[in-house]
Amino acid sequence: MTTQQRPSFLQDALAVVRSIRLAMSSPESRAKHAYEVFPPSTWTALNNHSSYLNFGYWRNEADTLDDACQALAEKLADAAGFQEGDRILDAGFGYGDQDFMWLKRHSPAKIVGLNVTPTHVRVAQAKAHERGLGDRLIFQEGSATAMTFEPGSFDRVVALESALHFRTRDEFFRQAHHVLRPGGVLATADIVPLNVNKADRRDLFSTSVPGENLYDGNEYVARLQAAGFVHAQLTSIRTHVYEPWCRWAEQKLDDPAFLQSTTWGYRRWLRRELADDTRMRQKFAGLDYVIVVAEKPM
């Protein structure tokens, strides 16, 4: 019996067990366990057909979450300046949807994905194998803060809504600088507090966000510079992210396909968060969503 075939009550029970494991895990392993609390079908249930794991970049009212997630991935690729023949490192790739899209649209020589969550790695590897792309899309289990690549291995390093989980983001900056070639680019789509004095990990929806990563956009740029990067630029896109995502999620709560593909516990949590403006929207009110780009000096 697959995860998707298990009765909802069993999936809810497993989610409780995994939540307890997450709560009891060490700070270093929380990101690894966080995305295994629910099965893949639940994590991606808000999507219509893709398995993206981000809030999306919403350009118009007709967007679906799938459209918005792909638009965000493409916005990050444009910011990073993807070019044909590039060697790209994707740190924290989710289920890898953006990597397949980037390969098709930008023709890099290869994309290497690093992820600490075993389920994500297995799903992405299976998709690459099925499509005969295993030589150009290399998904492997590993940490963005414990890289073993040679200096200058990559032209671009990207992190799509994942760097907030890295322990720590500073260490990721240092290691990204190490594995980039001179003139290479680091680009992130990331979530930071608007007011660091009021920041709380609970506002970022996850205990897997280290307290060391709670700083605002100005500090973000300063820390990139401290890691050796130059020409750092930060752009806020929060008005195209949070509120449109909330509206999409609200309408999904009445979608029979969504109700069938998710567990009772997940639906209850999402409905509770969205039903009260003091919950999810209040959290979003204190958060920025940023695209950040920086270069390694020549």
Spell out the residues 6+ positions from residue 156 whose beta carbon is closer than 8 angstroms to its own.
80, 81, 82, 86, 87, 88, 89, 180, 184, 185, 186, 187
Contact (CB, 8 A) for 214 and 201: yes
- Which pLDDT belongs to residue 81? 98
- Mean pLDDT, consecutive 10-residue stretches, the chain (298 aa), reads 47 54 58 65 87 95 94 98 98 97 98 95 96 96 96 98 95 98 98 79 66 94 98 98 94 88 81 76 90 98
